[in-house]
């Protein structure tokens, strides 16, 4: 991992200043360059509010946010937004263009990028999310998974250092979700992209480098998936852990340590060969 690209210190926010209860209370954490942080928690824990604060859509009452060495303020927010992009849950809310390539180009037009520079940027972003073949398609006629890929391409074209996914995969079918998670993981490694995913899906959280649990506007715990899923038994485990527990209940010997999907596939293949 690289050095911190995101630093959050004592972040505090509430929607109604007349109320005593805070939506976020003294939230502090850092994220390293090239790290994937999954933020989990019940509804009302402050996850989506935190996402909006990170991209400057809301302004905190207290605390500071520093992105790529620049503190997020009212004066600096447009410059800081070049380093961070937010993908919402429903991609239809982000579509502007009449074709896929027009939609991906929209953000670049807003920063007055020249046509000569814009074309390769759009083509590269669509290639990254494997949507080049759909560049002339109407985005409204795409599948859910394809729409979300286009929404992500629109952010990637701006070449941010950080991409924030706010429940962005929740509407996708399992196959599309797995494919998009794999694509994002490849981008993380190839482009040193920093990913912050806000999610209720434990399979999505399981592919991250670190999970941060939130409750009632505070950070409850932070650690690698192996630690979180072992220590927090009340969480719905990802598919691999559920499979292990089912096999164990049937009297099968299974790996004792936390197991990733790749490790589980290797173990199952080895077990089959030994039968």
Nearest residue to 127 via CA among 191, 198, 196, 195: 191
**Positions of the chain with pLDDT lower than 50, given as ranges:** 1, 275
Task: Return d(Cα 217, Cα 73) in angstroms, integer.
Answer: 22
Task: Return d(Cα 84, Cα 86) in angstroms, integer.
Answer: 7
What values do phi and psi take at 20, rounded to 5? -75, -35
Q: Do the bridges between strand 4-13 and strand 62-67 make them parallel or antiparallel, or are there none, so unpaired?
A: antiparallel
> What was the pLDDT predicted at 267?
76
List of residues 6+ apart from 96 with CB closer than 8 A: 102, 103, 106
3-state helix, strand, coil in the chain (%, to 5): 40, 20, 35
> What was the pLDDT predicted at 104?
92
Rounded to two decimals, the pTM is 0.84
Q: Residue 26, exposed/middle/buried by CB under 10 A (0-12, 13-18, 19+)? A: middle
> What was the pLDDT predicted at 72?
94
Q: Is 239 helix (H, G, I), strand (E, B) or coil?
A: helix
Q: pLDDT tens for residues 30-82?
A: 999 999 999 999 988 999 999 999 999 999 999 999 999 999 998 998 888 88
Task: Return d(Cα 114, Cα 27) in angstroms, integer.
Answer: 40
Nearest residue to 55 via CA among 4, 122, 6: 6
| Tokens read off for 179 | 């494919």
List of residues 6+ apart from 176 with CB closer than 8 A: 143, 144, 145, 148
Q: Do the bridges between strand 210-215 and strand 36-41 make them parallel or antiparallel, or are there none, so unpaired?
A: parallel
Instruction: Answer yes or no: are the C-beta atoms of 45 and 24 closer than 8 Å.
Output: no
- What are the residue boundaries of the structural domains of the chain, listed by start? 4-232, 237-275
> What was the pLDDT predicted at 259?
74
- Return the bridge partners of 212, or none: 39, 222
Nearest residue to 165 via CA among 134, 140, 193, 127: 193
Task: Return d(Cα 198, Cα 87) in angstroms, integer.
Answer: 10
Task: Return d(Cα 126, Cα 132) in angstroms, integer.
Answer: 5
CATH homologous superfamily of 4-232 equals P-loop containing nucleotide triphosphate hydrolases (3.40.50.300)
Q: pLDDT tens for residues 79-99?
A: 888 899 998 877 776 677 789
> What was the pLDDT predicted at 117?
93
């Amino acid at each position: 991992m690289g050095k911190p690209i995101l630093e959050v210190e004592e972040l505090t926010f509430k929607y109604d200043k007349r109320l005593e209860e805070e939506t976020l209370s003294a939230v502090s954490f850092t994220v390293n360059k090239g790290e994937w942080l999954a933020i989990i928690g019940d509804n009302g824990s402050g996850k989506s509010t935190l996402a909006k604060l990170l991209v400057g859509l809301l302004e905190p009452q207290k605390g500071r946010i520093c992105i790529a060495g620049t503190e997020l303020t009212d004066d600096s927010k447009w410059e800081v937004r070049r380093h961070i992009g937010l993908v919402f849950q429903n991609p239809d809310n982000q579509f502007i263009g009449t074709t896929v390539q027009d939609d991906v180009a929209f953000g670049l037009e807003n920063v007055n990028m020249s046509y000569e520079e814009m074309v390769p940027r759009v083509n590269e972003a669509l290639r990254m999310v494997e949507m080049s073949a759909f560049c002339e398609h109407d985005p409204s006629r795409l599948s859910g998974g394809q729409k979300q890929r286009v929404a992500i391409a629109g952010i990637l074209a701006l070449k941010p250092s950080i991409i924030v996914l706010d429940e962005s995969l929740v509407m996708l079918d399992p196959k599309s979700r797995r494919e998009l998670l794999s694509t994002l993981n490849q981008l993380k490694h190839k482009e040193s992209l920093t990913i912050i995913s806000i999610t209720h899906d434990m399979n999505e959280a399981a592919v991250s480098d670190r999970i941060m649990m939130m409750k009632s506007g505070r950070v409850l715990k932070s650690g690698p998936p192996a630690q979180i899923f072992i220590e927090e038994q009340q969480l719905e485990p990802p598919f691999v852990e559920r499979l292990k527990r089912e096999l164990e209940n049937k009297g099968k010997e299974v790996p004792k340590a936390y197991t990733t999907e790749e490790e589980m596939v290797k173990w199952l293949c080895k077990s089959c060969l030994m039968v």
